Amino acid sequence: MNNEKRIAGIYIRVSTLDQAREGFSLGQQEEQLKAFCERKGYEIYKVYADEGISAKNDKRPAYREMLKDVKNGTINVIVAFKMDRLTRSVYDVEKLMTVVDNAGCDIDCLNDSSNTTTSTGRLTLRIMTSVSQNEIEKCSERTKFGMVGAIQAGQPSST
């Protein structure tokens, strides 16, 4: 990172499944990320929160607001708990990296070494996103398999 003042946009997100499975709420993420920003010397501009929304695509209100603030130069570092809070899509991570690169912004994740400040950080960011996308795809496959089994067993669908 360069020597300019770092203005952080903290991005937090949970989906219902993530919150139940991994046990980290929006409040817990916010608390840890504020402490992370303090340690890094980042000034916090805003906390952007999407609750109960998957990161399988970029159609999230707070996420889009954050990107708007990146593009207009209001923030110059995005801080997230881990990369899968920002995106679980290989396609969307490349779009995000283009936006932040064009704006002179960085990404810095607390728990998985994903960042845009080094070549290794960018590699980690891409790998972590690939793993996250694979998790979504496997979950979708299991759901479809379960629905087929229920239909074959003569159980009515829950839709």
Rounded to an integer, what distance in angstroms lies between the CA atom of residue 114 and that of residue 82? 7
Report whether 109 contacts 141 (CB < 8 A). Answer: no
**Parallel/antiparallel/unpaired status of strands 106-109 and 7-14:** unpaired
Cα distance between residue 11 and residue 124, in whole Å = 19
Burial level of 149, CB count in 10 A (0-12/13-18/19+)?
A: exposed
Residues annotated as part of the active site: 15
**Which residues have C-beta within 8 Å of that of residue 22, sequence separation ≥ 6?**
none
Calculate the CA 33 to chain-centre distance. Answer: 13
